[in-house]
Chain A
Amino acid sequence: MENIEYRISNIESRIASRLPASRFLLLALFSLFMLFALSAFAQEPAYRHFPLIGSRNAIWIISQLHLMFAAFILGVPIFAVIVEYIGVRTKDPKFDRLAKEFTKLLLIAFSTTATFGAIMLFLLIGLYPNFFNYMSSIFFPTFVIYSLLFFGEGFSLYLYWYSWDKLMNKKWLHITFGIMLNVFGTLLMIIANTWVTFMMSPGGIDEQGALISLWGAINNFTWIPINIHRFIANICFGGFIVGAYAAYRFLSSKTDEERAHYDWMGYVGNFIGTAALIPLPFAGYWLGKEIYEYSEPLMIRMMGGELSWLFIIQAILIGVLFIGANYYLWIALSRIKGGERFRKYVKYMLFLLVICFAIWMTPHSLVASLEEARKIGATHHPLLGVFGVMSAKNTAVNLIILTTFFSFMLYQRANKIETVTWAKKGKIAQIIILGSAAGVVIFYGIYGYYVPAAVRIGFSVYQVSAVLAAMILVTILSSLILRGATSMGTIEWGKMPARSQYTLIVLALTIVTLMGLMGYIRSATRADWHVYRVLRDTSPEAFTPTIAYATQMISIITFIFFAFICFIFWLGHMGEKQ
């Protein structure tokens, strides 16, 4: 400030020497005004304080809630359109009813999402004005596009909902509206992702942080992987939320007919959720790789530093998701005639899953007391050295995926009797394919210990390809084997014990917590930067919270979200009664 003052007065005096007094007066007034303006600008605070809980927590809660609702209104339409399409193909009206039931919930959730978005925007402008100014200086054109798309999203949602009964005979048009809704939704997410990813891995700017290329800022290192990761995760989230809704309705059903409907709905939700869950770990690895390529310290901070403890919680949550989804399917075998034939496999699958999860959860470095460390005699336990590394984890997760796939396969053919002549050979071929995929996974998993990291990273590609190829081949074979199969009896929808429904609710709770957790990890990785290495967070709340603090916040947010979701479910329920 002094500097500017000095310079201005310097200029003034130079000009003054050549100007008449009146002009000088004017100039003096003008410069005084400028000074005021400048100092007023300087007094504009970089941060404001949010009462009681502080600015950071306020933004944390609101943006996470906004994000979860956004996942809801992005994930559920994907689900709805797929289900509607299945309904058209199979000519089974219950699919249409399911899709419609969910679109109704969307309407309520849509406005809630928008409200949280608006609150988040106000809070950002009010609490973090500097940061918001900077983001606007980079991304303003995208803000405009975003608002336009938002209209598109809103209108296509209303079109989709209100034209439902009218277009019963023109399903293709109605599904087109549904697809439009999804296109708008996905574009919205992709644009919002540019802002978030820019904060983590900024691009398209010069040394001072000024914009050089908007496209460079948009297409930064983590943008595409986050787009994909979030897209898949939203489907997964949508599926499990649908499952929870169905469970809630199942448990409060009064008639067998209702129970049958909601049991079936829960099954569909769980199916879509789990199907989307399967590719998620791969998308996650890709994101990690991209972060690493952008900045090594960023990656080390995330995976090796204090945040790494949270990855143990992540492993546990993912474990609950996979085991829970399998558990649900295993219970479901009991409501299918013929399902009992496959029960004997359950214990082997469970055994495999548990072993894999024990490995998957084993941390790399350990929490040990001094005494224990002395007994171990080193900073690392040899067992953790074996289980804690990438080779072991990749192997475990691939086997988990194969097992889950196998569960689905058994479920699918639980009540079927194959009629094709080569059924036996076909089944043996399937076993061989799955077995050799597992073999490839285990082989490279073990081999990975004997080669340097650079080579090892390539191995995960072989493992993943083997698993994917096996799943595709086996699915094709299955559909051929089951062609013309006779049925041992229909599925007795509604004959599920209550615990299966609670499992669905646990799955939804878990995926929401997981989203909160991973969102926190990704944001906290930046440490005290608003925009990594460009704009520093100098607010008093720039510290990295302790693990306990962070997990408590995440739990509170999960709780609030479910309170809202219950309210929405309840509203949906109430609307129906009238």
Chain B
Amino acid sequence: MRKFNISIFWSSLVLLGVSYLLMKYVVQPPLPSSILAMYVGMILFAIFIYVTVEEERMREFLQPIRGLFLDEKKKTWQTLVLIGFPLAIGVYSFNAFSPKISPPAELRTVHPAPPDEYVGLVNPLRESGEGGAKPHEGDLEEHVQKGAEIYFKNCFFCHGDALDGKGHFAEGFTPLPANFRDQGTIAQLQESYVFWRIKTGGPGLPTESQPWNSAMPIWEDFLTDEEIWQVILYIYEGAGVEPRTWE
């Protein structure tokens, strides 16, 4: 650093700027602004720590600022900075707080606690062999097959034929239909939980998840319990993920 004679002040600014641009424009899919703000905050914090750990470094960091404001000859620059800096903050704040067309970000509780009666249910089809033993391969396959049929008759309009949440109707809904291939949906849920969600759909969500205009239909009026367990088998199989198990 010393070799190029860039002071730590400017290199910090560059670091901040570059990492911001990287996170904002290079990371794909784009990070939500809440996360971005958090990471940028972390970097700022780290720079602060790094600079202030040592006395000399702190002095070096402050040098350009001191140089600017203590130098009588730099009047124009001083004026520019003193006007430009508050102005930039003003513009930023205005942009951040002025009303927008798109609805504001919501704190959604995506996975609220399920009602008691669903807790601890096990998928009977995984256990349906004689004497509670594992089912014969054939049985399970049959159930998965049936599940696939159910899925393509009922669910794929929204959840997509690749189970990635990109069905034909998907674009029309907020929140978007769940992407079953994502680590954050069924892969981290127990089957009992998924059973509850399918059975009672969006309206079955507890008040704590509101406002939540989930388009997920209530399936208990259309599918039997067994059919729901079958479609569960299929979505796990099809998405290539395992249901969550505890201990």
Contact = CB atoms under 8 A, between A and B. Distances in A.
Contacts of A330: 53
B175 A373 contact: yes
Contact of B120 (A296, A308, A367): A296
A367 B113 contact: no
A354 interface: yes
Contact of B183 (A297, A374, A380): A380
A371 B38 CA distance: 19
A417 interface: no
A369 B107 contact: no
B105 A372 contact: yes
Given A372-B105, A375-B29, A384-B35, A544 B208 contact: yes
Contacts of A298: 113
Contact of A365 (B38, B53, B108, B242): B108
B165 A379 contact: yes
Given A365-B184, A386-B183, A297 B54 contact: no
Interface in A390-411: none
B55 A350 contact: no
Contacts of A297: 113-116, 119
A366 interface: yes
A369 B116 contact: no
A530 B28 CA distance: 47
Contacts of A334: 54-55
> What interface size band does chain B fall in?
35 or more
Contacts of B176: 373-374, 377-379
Contacts, number: 162
Contacts of A375: 29-30
A305 B109 contact: yes
Nearest to A544: B208
Interface stretch (B42-50, B74-82, B123-131): B42-50
A306 B109 contact: yes
A522 interface: no
B226 interface: no
A392 to B, nearest CB: 11
Interface in B86-122: 102-116, 119-120
B31 interface: yes
A350 B50 CA distance: 8
B46 A350 contact: yes
B39 interface: yes
A242 to B, nearest CB: 23
Given A305-B113, A350-B49, A366-B34, A379 B29 contact: no
Nearest to A543: B207
Given A305-B112, A368-B34, A376 B29 contact: yes
A367 B183 contact: no
A366 B50 contact: no
B178 A369 contact: no
A379 B179 CA distance: 7
Nearest to B119: A296
Contact of B246 (A292, A347, A388): A292
Contacts of B164: 378
Contacts of B246: 292, 296, 453-454, 457
A337 interface: no
Contacts of A354: 42-43, 45-46
A380 B182 contact: yes
Contacts of A189: none
Contact of A452 (B42, B113, B182, B244): B244
A453 B188 CA distance: 8
A383 B182 CA distance: 11
B242 A452 contact: yes
Contacts of B53: 327, 330-331, 343, 346
A413 interface: no
Contacts of A385: 182-184
Nearest to B208: A306
Interface in B21-74: 27, 29-35, 38-39, 42-43, 45-46, 49-50, 52-55
Given A297-B113, A378-B179, A379-B184, 6 more contacts: A331-B53, A365-B110, A377-B165, A381-B35, A382-B29, A544-B208
- Listed from nearest, the 9 A-B pairs whose CB atoms lie closest are A380-B184, A385-B183, A368-B32, A378-B179, A300-B113, A367-B34, A301-B113, A369-B105, A297-B113
Interface of A: 292, 296-298, 300-301, 304-306, 308-309, 323, 327, 330-331, 334, 343, 346-347, 350-351, 354, 357-358, 361-386, 388-389, 452-454, 457, 497, 499, 544, 547
6 contacts: A343-B54, A350-B50, A358-B38, A370-B103, A379-B165, A381-B35
